[in-house]
């Protein structure tokens, strides 16, 4: 059944208040729900009350405290319909349901994770607890009573403020919670069990003292201190930058080990995947620390963008997610290095969102229809949604953007709002017509912008021709031109900024060029010398630029642009054509010789001049001590195999891409041998580990250099030495990765794997790294390795983190292993998806998206991928989640 945005209408009944009483039991939890409703003014006076359910068992139903006549209602596991209700005056419905948390393997609704009761209600999990108008525009005030066995569950938590608790008969106790802020059901949370506590306090801007509590498994308390620190910094930052203060006496975070996503922003009681809470130097990498900081901030920021102002319906998901991602990006940029953060964001956007946007699962930032809302927690809604918010900031400038945000907070506090409400605030404060801009919410597909320039010496005139094409996407064959804000600069031959006397052809405000027509020509006058155009600085618009700049111009930008992002981008633009050409050349040849043939390919032979320019620019940046190490490490990372595949666009042979990239790595390693040696020494530090950005940047540069050194030497010794020397998880797991990825069969690699496994036995989150590094080893051997690792005692197919670490890493991060030419890995994945789907449809559907690029593959592989997808599609008993994805993948 398809849900359409156009069909939205408010409910017939207003929900005044909600009282929930839980009698917790692992297999038979009783939930009593008292709801006070009145019919909405103007609603049909005979309309029945229709409540959502999902696999529910109804044991009692009362109307105004009296058992209801069976003729007045119909109950199925998925729906409760009650008829003959009062036309105007309030009435009370009391519902009792019986649920089984232990059997809830979907991890939606109330479930048990490692002996802890916890909930996940977004998007439609609350209806698995009780019958309810389970939609985000039904806001109500909740009181929650929790009754449970006291010894097993000393802790009883829910949203809002703690009212009180006491004993409750033999061996039991109860606790009562009240949340004064009206909220939709998806923000409900309950946690019960026995957990350790880390406590702190935060005093808000206006002097309110807030108790901060992070609950983790006993013994893991010391590993929650970084999360606590990140929380306090987030609270302070939201006051300083957005003027947003926290609004309850208590803010709680609970870490659980079975969780489908990263975390959830339930009012006053965030529930987290423990992976994004727990960290210490021995067990967490710099990337783990950065993720924890970002996700703690993200969930906290939802308190205003999501909770105080929520979404009218799930089509508006980007209203809270895109905006909140934008906010957490700004936070991390302020805490760390803005340029390096931006590069990482763009890498992620291109690797995930651009791929989604160009394939069968493409959808607008605000979709028009869905069959399963769980499948729309996508990088398009989140990351492109954030980019769209960022473009509003770029178009309006910081002051008007802030004024628009302030207006939004003031006008819509307490509302279930829409994207239109949000955009209207910015249109109003800026007096700009943002209707063309709003196409970013409604048109799917990544715009292609083709650029060409001309310079007329005599006239001092520089012309920039731009053409935009938004490609067709499923359901949207024809597109209108968008408003694309491109930050830019003109550089002299010496790399200095060049100013124009004037510009014609369209709006240019400050350093932002506004492309609004399908084709548009901007003419800059008074330009004394031939300028080099640096376009889309800071990646101000999420578009693909087609701009044939010659190597000399790119090298100039790479070494001189004032925008660090553009310098990194220019390096990437130098590298990609070399890599693509080399992949094209080796691809055909090797395929003809048959699988497994080791190509003696010199990537570089494809275009020696470009390769030389690249190596020179790259090494001069990497060796430039005036630049921050984290930026230099990003430069060394080179375009990924997925980046090359995207650039090629079709007829993808992952083996050829892998060879091409390895050849370039080897070339750069040879050319930079001395520099890399110096960096490995020079970036090392004797100071105790600190996760701060500067220290992490030095480690990143040291480790990137080490990777090149080891490959230049074709000898695992240096990596083995680094493994032995490492005194923190960042260095340790990097050394393990180098050993295992490039020398998988060597004794050194096997020894390190064995050591790692023994050393971290019992620490599942760390062992996930061990699984994932092995799952990512390139080549045909990967599949057998995965199968063997699945019977490792540390692997648990019921835990989403374990599944993502092993099977997910294989499918998403091992292009040559997963796309082996005989298609065996596709068949394996189909089998696994069908098995996982029985237990956890959301996890299965997410894994299935790893095959969304199947049409881009060369024909043999594409054929085999399609066959595996068809097998899934034809299977009986598919979940909605998997059915929706597989059908779209085969159709689009």
Cα 877 to Cα 761: distance, rounded to the nearest angstrom: 37
User: Which of Zn ion, ligand ARG, none sits in contact with 294, Cβ below 5 to 8 A by type?
Assistant: none
Q: Output 265 or 653, the one with its CB closest to ligand ARG.
A: 265
Residue 603 engages ligand ARG in binding (rule: CB under 6 A): no
Query: CB under 6 A: which stretch of 260-268, 542-550, 781-789, 862-870 binds ligand ARG?
Result: 260-268
User: Please, what is the minimum distance in Å from the beta carbon of residue 879 to Zn ion?
Assistant: 23
Of all residues in this chain, which one has the CB nearest to ligand ARG in the complex? 377
User: Please, what is the minimum distance in Å from the beta carbon of residue 627 to ligand ARG?
Assistant: 34
User: Please, what is the minimum distance in Å from the beta carbon of residue 303 to Zn ion?
Assistant: 11
Site residues for Zn ion, 290-349, by CB under 5 A, read 321, 324
| b/e burial code for range 181-218 (CB count within 10 A of at least 16 → b) | bbbbbbbbbbbbbebbebeeebeeeeeeebebbbbbbe
Cα 640 to Cα 739: distance, rounded to the nearest angstrom: 19
User: Which of ligand ARG, Zn ion, none sits in contact with 54, Cβ below 5 to 8 A by type?
Assistant: none
Length of the chain equals 892
User: Which of ligand ARG, Zn ion, none sits in contact with 264, Cβ below 5 to 8 A by type?
Assistant: ligand ARG
The strand order across the sheet containing 79-82 reads 49-52, 79-82, 73-76
Q: Output 294 or 429, the one with its CB closest to Zn ion.
A: 294
Residue 261 engages ligand ARG in binding (rule: CB under 6 A): yes
Report the residue from 123, 198, 712, 767 that binds ligand ARG according to the rule CB under 6 A: 123
Q: Output 654 or 841, the one with its CB closest to ligand ARG.
A: 841
Report the residue from 264, 515, 736, 844 that binds ligand ARG according to the rule CB under 6 A: 264
Report the residue from 52, 134, 288, 321 that binds ligand ARG according to the rule CB under 6 A: 321
User: Which of ligand ARG, Zn ion, none sits in contact with 122, Cβ below 5 to 8 A by type?
Assistant: ligand ARG
13 near 131, Cβ under 8 Å? no
Structural tokens at position 447: 């715009």
Query: CB under 6 A: which stretch of 151-159, 258-266, 652-660, 724-732 binds ligand ARG?
Result: 258-266
Residues 6+ apart with CB under 8 A from 692: none
549 near 585, Cβ under 8 Å? no
Q: Output 321 or 553, the one with its CB closest to Zn ion.
A: 321
User: Which of ligand ARG, Zn ion, none sits in contact with 263, Cβ below 5 to 8 A by type?
Assistant: ligand ARG
Q: Output 321 or 352, the one with its CB closest to Zn ion.
A: 321
Q: How distant, in Å, are the alpha carbons of 320, 485, 710, 849 from that of 444?
A: 19, 17, 43, 18
The secondary structure element, H or E, covering residue 166 is strand 161-167
91 near 72, Cβ under 8 Å? no
CA 114 from centre of chain: 25
Q: Burial, 632: exposed, middle or buried (Cβ in 10 Å; 0-12, 13-18, 19+)? A: buried
Report the residue from 134, 299, 511, 858 that binds ligand ARG according to the rule CB under 6 A: 299
Catalytic status, residue 67: no
3-state secondary structure of 713: helix
Place of tokens 């390139």: 778
Catalytic residue of the set 23, 265, 299, 667: 299
Which residues does residue 608 pair with via DSSP β-bridges, in sequence order?
A: none
**Parallel, antiparallel or unpaired: strands 416-417 and 310-311:** parallel
Residue 374 engages ligand ARG in binding (rule: CB under 6 A): yes
Report the residue from 23, 32, 54, 122 that binds ligand ARG according to the rule CB under 6 A: 122
User: Please, what is the minimum distance in Å from the beta carbon of residue 646 to ligand ARG?
Assistant: 25
Which parts of 184-311 are beta strand (E)? 190-193, 196-203, 209-216, 250-256, 263-264, 269-273, 310-311
User: Please, what is the minimum distance in Å from the beta carbon of residue 260 to ligand ARG?
Assistant: 6
User: Which of ligand ARG, Zn ion, none sits in contact with 470, Cβ below 5 to 8 A by type?
Assistant: none
User: Please, what is the minimum distance in Å from the beta carbon of residue 1 to ligand ARG?
Assistant: 18
User: Please, what is the minimum distance in Å from the beta carbon of residue 377 to ligand ARG?
Assistant: 4
Cα 72 to Cα 63: distance, rounded to the nearest angstrom: 10
Report the residue from 37, 177, 242, 377 that binds ligand ARG according to the rule CB under 6 A: 377
Treating both helix axes as pointing N-terminal to C-terminal, what angle do 398-412 and 385-396 enclose, rounded to 10 degrees?
A: 120
Q: Output 301 or 422, the one with its CB closest to ligand ARG.
A: 301
Number of residues forming the site for ligand ARG (CB under 6 A): 11
H-helix segments, 672-799: 673-682, 693-713, 717-725, 729-742, 747-759, 764-775, 782-790
Report the residue from 217, 258, 265, 288 that binds ligand ARG according to the rule CB under 6 A: 265
Site residues for ligand ARG, 157-186, by CB under 6 A, read none
User: Please, what is the minimum distance in Å from the beta carbon of residue 314 to ligand ARG?
Assistant: 10
Cα 850 to Cα 867: distance, rounded to the nearest angstrom: 15
User: Which of ligand ARG, Zn ion, none sits in contact with 374, Cβ below 5 to 8 A by type?
Assistant: ligand ARG
Query: CB under 6 A: which stretch of 263-271, 488-496, 506-514, 750-758 binds ligand ARG?
Result: 263-271
Q: Output 271 or 396, the one with its CB closest to ligand ARG.
A: 271
The strand order across the sheet containing 66-67 reads 66-67, 57-63, 91-99, 29-39, 13-23, 140-149, 172-183, 161-167
User: Please, what is the minimum distance in Å from the beta carbon of residue 814 to ligand ARG?
Assistant: 25
**Contact positions vs ligand ARG (CB under 6 A):** 122-123, 261, 263-265, 298-299, 321, 374, 377
- Give the catalytic positions in this structure: 299
Site of interaction with Zn ion (CB under 5 A): 321, 324
């Amino acid at each position: 059944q398809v849900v359409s945005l156009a069909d939205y209408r408010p409910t017939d009944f207003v929900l005044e208040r909600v009282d929930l009483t839980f009698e917790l039991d692992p297999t038979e939890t009783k939930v009593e729900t008292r709801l006070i409703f009145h019919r909405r003014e103007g609603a049909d006076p005979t309309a029945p009350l229709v409540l959502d359910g999902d696999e529910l068992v109804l044991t009692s139903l009362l109307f105004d405290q009296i058992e209801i006549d069976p003729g007045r209602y119909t109950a199925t596991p998925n729906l409760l319909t009650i008829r003959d209700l009062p036309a105007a005056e309030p009435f009370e419905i009391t519902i009792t349901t019986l649920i089984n948390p232990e059997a809830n393997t979907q991890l939606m609704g109330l479930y048990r994770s490692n002996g802890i009761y916890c909930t996940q209600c977004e998007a439609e999990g609350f209806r698995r607890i009780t019958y309810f108008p389970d939609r985000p525009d039904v806001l109500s005030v909740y009181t929650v009573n929790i009754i449970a066995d006291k010894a097993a569950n000393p802790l009883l938590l829910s949203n809002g403020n703690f009212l009180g608790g006491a004993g409750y008969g033999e061996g039991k106790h109860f606790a009562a919670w009240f949340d004064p802020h009206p909220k939709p059901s998806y923000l409900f949370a309950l946690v019960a069990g026995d957990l350790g506590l880390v406590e702190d306090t935060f005093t808000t801007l206006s002097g309110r003292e807030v108790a901060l509590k992070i609950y983790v498994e006993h013994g893991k308390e010391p590993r929650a201190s970084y999360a606590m620190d990140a929380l306090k910094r987030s609270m302070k930052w939201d006051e300083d930058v957005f003027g947003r203060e926290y609004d309850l006496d208590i803010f709680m975070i609970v870490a659980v080990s079975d969780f489908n996503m990263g975390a959830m922003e339930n009012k006053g009681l965030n529930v987290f995947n423990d992976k994004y809470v727990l960290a210490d130097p021995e067990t967490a990498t710099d990337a783990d620390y950065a993720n924890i900081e970002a996700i703690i901030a993200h969930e906290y920021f939802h308190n205003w963008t999501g909770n105080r102002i929520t979404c009218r319906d799930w089509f508006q998901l980007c209203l809270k997610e895109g905006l909140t991602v934008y906010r957490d990006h700004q936070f991390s940029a302020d805490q760390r290095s803005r340029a390096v953060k931006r590069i990482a964001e763009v890498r992620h956007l291109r690797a995930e969102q651009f791929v989604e946007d160009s394939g069968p699962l493409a959808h607008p930032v605000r979709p028009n229809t869905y069959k399963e809302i769980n499948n729309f927690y996508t990088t398009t809604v989140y990351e492109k949604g954030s980019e769209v918010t960022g473009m509003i900031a770029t178009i309006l400038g910081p002051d008007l953007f802030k004024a628009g945000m302030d207006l939004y907070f003031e006008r819509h506090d307490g509302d279930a709002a829409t994207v239109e409400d949000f955009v209207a605030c910015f249109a109003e404060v800026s007096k700009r017509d943002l209707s063309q801009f709003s196409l970013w919410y409604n048109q799917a597909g990544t715009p292609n912008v083709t650029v060409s320039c001309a310079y007329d010496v005599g006239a001092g005139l520089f012309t920039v021709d731009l053409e935009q094409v938004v490609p067709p996407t499923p359901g949207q064959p024809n597109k209108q031109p968008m408003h694309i804000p491109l930050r830019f600069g003109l550089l002299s031959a010496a790399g200095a900024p060049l100013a124009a006397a004037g510009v014609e052809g369209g709006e240019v405000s400050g350093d932002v060029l506004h492309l609004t027509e399908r084709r548009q020509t901007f003419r800059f006058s008074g330009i004394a010398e031939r300028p080099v155009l640096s376009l889309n600085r800071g990646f101000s618009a999420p578009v693909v630029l087609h701009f044939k700049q010659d190597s000399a111009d790119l090298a100039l930008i790479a070494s001189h642009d004032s925008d660090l992002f553009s310098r990194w981008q220019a390096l990437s633009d130098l590298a990609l054509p070399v890599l693509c050409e080399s992949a094209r050349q080796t691809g055909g040849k090797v395929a003809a010789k048959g699988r497994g043939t080791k190509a003696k390919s010199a990537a570089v032979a494809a275009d020696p001049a470009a390769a030389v320019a690249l190596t020179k620019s790259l090494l001069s940046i990497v060796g430039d001590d005036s630049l921050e190490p984290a930026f230099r490490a990003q430069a060394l990372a080179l375009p990924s195999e997925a980046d090359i595949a995207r650039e090629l666009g079709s007829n993808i042979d992952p083996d050829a891409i892998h060879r091409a990239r390895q050849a370039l790595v080897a070339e750069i390693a040879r050319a930079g041998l001395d520099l890399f040696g110096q960096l490995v020494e020079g970036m090392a530090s004797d100071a105790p580990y600190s996760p701060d950005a500067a220290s992490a940047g030095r480690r990143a540069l040291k480790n990137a250099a080490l990777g090149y050194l080891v490959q230049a030497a074709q000898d695992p010794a240096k990596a083995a030495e680094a493994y032995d020397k490492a005194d923190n998880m960042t260095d340790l797991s990097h050394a393990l990765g180098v050993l295992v990825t490039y020398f998988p069969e060597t004794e050194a690699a096997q020894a390190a794997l064995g050591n790692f496994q023994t050393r971290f036995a019992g620490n599942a989150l760390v062992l996930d790294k061990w699984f994932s590094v092995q799952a990512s080893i390139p080549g045909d051997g990967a599949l057998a390795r995965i199968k063997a690792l699945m019977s490792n005692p540390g692997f648990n197919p019921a835990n989403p983190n374990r599944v993502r670490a092993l099977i997910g890493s294989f499918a998403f991060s091992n292009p040559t292993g997963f796309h082996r030419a005989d298609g065996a890995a596709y068949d394996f994945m189909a089998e696994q998806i069908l098995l996982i789907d029985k237990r956890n449809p959301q996890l299965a559907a997410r894994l299935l998206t790893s095959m969304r690029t199947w049409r881009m593959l060369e024909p043999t592989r594409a054929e085999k991928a399609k066959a595996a997808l068809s097998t899934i599609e034809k299977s009986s008993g598919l979940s909605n989640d998997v059915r929706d994805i597989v059908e779209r993948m085969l159709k689009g």
